[in-house]
Amino acid sequence: MTATLAATSAATETDAVVRMSGVRKVFGHGPRAVTALDGIDLAVAPGEFVCLLGASGCGKTTVLNMIAGLDRPSSGDIELTTTRPAVMFQEAALMPWLTAARNVELPLRLAGVKRTERRARTLELLDLVRLGGAGDKRPHELSGGMRQRVALARALASALQGNNGEASSLLLMDEPFSALDAITRDVLQGELLRVWEATGTAVVFVTHDVREAVRLGQRVVLLSSKPGRVVQQWSVADAPEAELTEEINGRLREVISSHAAA
Ligand SMILES: Nc1ncnc2c1ncn2[C@@H]1O[C@H](COP(=O)(O)OP(=O)(O)OP(=O)(O)O)[C@@H](O)[C@H]1O
């Protein structure tokens, strides 16, 4: 028997970096309105790694966009106690005319960090993502995996900015490895765990891949579709990976088929 958490949240009472309470999101108006999310309660603890899992269209990106402040809930509350969260997407979205180092440096420049400090910070971050020797390369000279490493370093530059690298930061990741080949994805998953441990940042990671969720997350949160709701959560540490993957896969299949039958 694996460890299932209550359907609300594992970090409800404590000092969450983000807390969503009764969040509802409706797109559009009248007969064409789509209720994407309904009654989402979710809290993420400082330094916690949470994977949001669900079928295509269940509202994972909508949750992330609202935490990032890119969109607003129709009702309910979202409280953040972090510096501004950084977002990393499926595509690296680097500035093609800037070198890797200048891409990483950009959020620091926009935040008004002094030149010497931002150069030093950029070198540290490029080393952290194992791109120490590639800072002067432009995005088209890098592989897909290397571009995502640059995007990770840039997101960390943004997330860790203003808190001296302490735990009150939040990184939001929207299927960042899904466009990569299986081997590169596997390597980058391992790298992300190393970087997460080294920085202590909290992570909310969106995926539709159960295996990826179980490998990366301390907690896996399963969303239903139309409307998106938290249907179940699992604590990963307490269960053997293979058993948990099978259990979550089964539950995901149930959720998808109940949606298809509705
Ligand atoms: N701007 C928008 N206008 C209208 N409907 C939207 C908008 N954004 C999202 N939706 C709808 O809200 C629902 C949730 O979308 P969302 O992109 O958050 O899902 P998702 O789980 O991230 O999907 P995927 O895994 O395919 O990326 C879907 O039904 C989608 O069509």
pLDDT digits (tens, 9 = 90+) for 191-205: 999 999 998 899 999
- Candidates 109, 100, 93; CA nearest to 129 is 100
Q: Is residue 88 part of a domain?
A: no
Helix axis angle for 182-199 and 144-160, nearest 10°, is: 20
User: In this predicted structure, what is the pLDDT of residue 8?
Assistant: 44
Q: Which residues contact 96 (CB under 8 A, 6 or more apart)?
A: 138, 139, 140
Rounded to the nearest angstrom, the distance between the alpha carbon of 59 and the centre of ligand 1 is 5
User: In this predicted structure, what is the pLDDT of residue 106?
Assistant: 95
Residues 117 and 56 in one domain: no
Residues 67 and 154 in one domain: no
pLDDT band at 167 (very low <50, low <70, confident <90, very high): very low
High-pLDDT (> 70) share of the chain, % = 91
Q: What's the number of domains the chain is made of?
A: 2
Q: Which residues line ligand 1 (CB under 6 A)?
A: 27-28, 34, 36, 54, 56-62, 208
Tell me the whole-structure pTM to 2 decimals.
0.91
Residues 225 and 112 in one domain: no
Rounded to the nearest angstrom, the distance between the alpha carbon of 189 and the centre of ligand 1 is 25
Residues 56 and 176 in one domain: yes
Mutate to test the pocket of ligand 1, among 29, 34, 53 (most ligand atoms within 8 A of CB): 34
Residues 23 and 149 in one domain: no
Q: What is the mean pLDDT of the chain?
A: 89
Rounded to the nearest angstrom, the distance between the alpha carbon of 34 and the centre of ligand 1 is 9
Q: Is the pLDDT of residue 174 over 50?
A: yes
Q: Is residue 145 part of a domain?
A: yes
Rounded to the nearest angstrom, the distance between the alpha carbon of 142 and the centre of ligand 1 is 31
Residues 79 and 172 in one domain: yes
Work out which ligand 1 atom sits closest to the CA atom of 208.
25
Q: Is residue 59 part of a domain?
A: yes
pLDDT band at 162 (very low <50, low <70, confident <90, very high): low
Q: In this predicted complex, what is the ipTM?
A: 0.96
User: In this predicted structure, what is the pLDDT of residue 9?
Assistant: 47
Of the candidates 111, 134, 162, which is a domain's last residue? 162
Rounded to the nearest angstrom, the distance between the alpha carbon of 57 and the centre of ligand 1 is 5
Atom 9 of ligand 1: nearest residue by CA position: 62
Q: Are 202 and 17 in contact (CB under 8 A)?
A: yes
Atom 17 of ligand 1: nearest residue by CA position: 61
Q: Report the alpha-carbon distance of residue 27 to residue 30 in Å, rounded.
A: 10
Of the candidates 133, 162, 191, which is a domain's last residue? 162
Atom 31 of ligand 1: nearest residue by CA position: 57
Q: What is the CA radius of gyration of the chain?
A: 19
Q: Is the pLDDT of residue 126 over 50?
A: yes
Atom 23 of ligand 1: nearest residue by CA position: 57
pLDDT digits (tens, 9 = 90+) for 66-123: 999 999 999 999 999 887 889 998 888 899 999 999 999 999 999 899 999 999 999 9
Mutate to test the pocket of ligand 1, among 32, 51, 58, 259 (most ligand atoms within 8 A of CB): 58
User: In this predicted structure, what is the pLDDT of residue 163?
Assistant: 58
- Domain holding 132, by residue range, is 94-162
Rounded to the nearest angstrom, the distance between the alpha carbon of 164 and the centre of ligand 1 is 35
pLDDT band at 14 (very low <50, low <70, confident <90, very high): low
Atom 26 of ligand 1: nearest residue by CA position: 56
Q: Is residue 249 part of a domain?
A: yes
Q: How far apart are the first and last CA of the chain?
A: 29
Tell me which DSSP letter residue 240 carries: -
Residues 257 and 171 in one domain: yes
Q: Report the alpha-carbon distance of residue 201 to residue 46 in Å, rounded.
A: 7
- Is the sign of the CA dihedral 84, 15, 165, 60 positive or negative? negative
